[in-house]
């Protein structure tokens, strides 16, 4: 038999080194090398014998037009917002990785999904590696979930899990979490780079061959990214992130990777004592405004995935006592600094000696550039002390030369604003509709100074 070999493996990138060093030569991280004993590979009787990569298909050469295309069979999770994020439902044989901060609701929504699917004649298996079965049952009882059809198991060995999955062949299986699983072919501890990579690869191959859809829970680091090797996100079909503060009522699930649907799709949920409840009209919760117009407040028409959202943006510009500060909550900090410089150069509004605070109401994180114009109009409104009309909504990207650039899906954004009763909408000239809309004044602008002038005229 081959002898076991000792190497030093980086916990960040997974690179093996023959001897210990203070810094990894590949990724540059310090104190990340740990000793790992590499034993000869052991063939386990439950290990699936598959080839052809993670998809489990036999290797064969053919032309692309000879491949038969079949529509993916999708299973309803019982939560329409969750189905939206997944692209219309859970695809059979897919692997979904879901991550988020501790206590944000990952296990809760997956337990709700498992009980709904089990009650809808779709067999489901919940595998827990972090909690005991009594804790899972207690949570289900607290949420008033039906528990007579859901199968549960406490196990952390991947080979044993594959055995059980092959016996009962459920339509969906939930693994909570990947950091607690291990494979017997490796000697390292659970949660390590090699264990996470090999466990995920084995489960992905099984899902592709059996047709069982898998939900895998992943831990996150203090920076908010998924813990473990980056290859973990490449293996799976869909990566979902939970967003929102633990003390806030609302939670958001964002799809950052989806092979069967749109990325950046957003699902909004409300945390209640009976679990996560879907929010059918998320624009309503982000538009809880004052009874009268106030300076520094404006409504932005954003778009997350395939859904337009109306979000209130607030700005506060005040005299600085010392070094001026720039604080952005829900927006990118560096982009705010750039936009303020553009407003100074091309709009004639100076904020060099002012503190600027910008906040997106509701805890939503806006990543698209269509929020540029709303941020600058809110800052100008707060600086001059003039309140913008409450029936005003804006969207548009601001370039470095002061031009207002168009954004994708402008017509859908207009329809969402009109549906909520807005009377004035400032849009880029390229996004202006060809026909006039009754009861709505569409203000098309091409330069930043035009947008500032039109907004001030509306104030008066």
Q: Which residues are annotated as a binding site for ATP?
A: 100-107
Strand order of the β-sheet with 33-38 is 16-17, 5-10, 33-38
Residues 29 and 97: their CA atoms lie apart, in Å, by 26
Specify binding-site residues. Answer: 100-107
**Distance (Å, whole) CA 204 – CA 196:** 12
């Amino acid at each position: 038999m081959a002898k076991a070999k000792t190497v030093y493996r980086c916990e960040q990138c997974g690179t093996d080194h023959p001897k210990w060093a203070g810094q990894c030569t590949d990724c540059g991280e310090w104190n990340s090398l740990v000793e790992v004993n590499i034993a000869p590979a052991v063939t386990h009787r439950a290990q699936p014998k598959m080839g052809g990569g993670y998809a489990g298909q036999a290797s064969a050469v053919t032309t692309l037009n000879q491949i038969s295309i079949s529509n993916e069979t999708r299973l309803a999770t019982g939560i329409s917002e969750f189905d939206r994020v997944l692209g219309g439902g859970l695809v059979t044989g897919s692997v979904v990785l879901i991550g988020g901060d501790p206590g944000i609701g990952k296990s809760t929504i997956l337990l709700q999904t498992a009980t709904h699917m089990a009650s809808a004649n779709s067999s489901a298996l919940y595998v827990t590696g972090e909690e005991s079965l009594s804790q899972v049952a207690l949570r289900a009882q607290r949420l008033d979930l039906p528990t007579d059809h859901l199968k549960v198991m406490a196990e952390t060995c991947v080979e044993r899990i594959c055995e059980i999955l092959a016996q009962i062949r459920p339509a969906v299986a939930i693994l909570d979490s990947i950091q607690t699983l291990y494979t017997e072919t490796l000697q390292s501890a659970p949660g390590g780079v090699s264990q996470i990579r090999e466990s995920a690869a084995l489960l992905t191959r099984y899902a592709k061959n059996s047709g069982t859809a898998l939900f895998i829970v992943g831990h996150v680091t203090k920076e908010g990214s998924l813990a473990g090797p980056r290859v973990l996100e490449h293996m799976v079909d869909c990566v979902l992130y939970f967003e929102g503060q633990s003390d806030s009522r609302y939670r958001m699930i964002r799809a950052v990777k989806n092979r069967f649907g749109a990325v950046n799709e957003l699902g909004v949920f409300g945390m209640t004592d009976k679990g996560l409840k879907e929010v059918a009209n998320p624009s309503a919760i982000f538009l809880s405004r004052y009874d009268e117009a106030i300076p520094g407040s404006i409504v932005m028409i954003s778009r997350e995935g395939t859904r337009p959202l109306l979000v209130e943006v607030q700005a506060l510009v005040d005299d600085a006592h010392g070094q001026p500060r720039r604080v952005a909550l829900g927006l990118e900090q560096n982009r705010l600094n750039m936009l303020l410089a553009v407003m100074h150069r091309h709009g004639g509004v100076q904020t060099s000696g002012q503190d600027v605070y910008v906040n997106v109401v509701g805890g939503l994180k806006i990543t698209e550039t269509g929020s540029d114009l709303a941020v600058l109009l809110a800052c100008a409104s707060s600086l001059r002390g003039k309140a913008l009309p409450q029936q005003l909504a804006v969207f548009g990207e601001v370039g470095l030369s002061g031009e207002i650039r168009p954004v994708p899906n402008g017509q859908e954004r207009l329809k969402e604003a009109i549906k909520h009763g807005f009377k004035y909408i400032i849009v880029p000239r390229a996004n202006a509709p060809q026909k006039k809309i009754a009861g709505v004044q569409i203000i098309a602008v091409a330069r930043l100074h035009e947008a500032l002038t039109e907004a001030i005229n509306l104030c008066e």
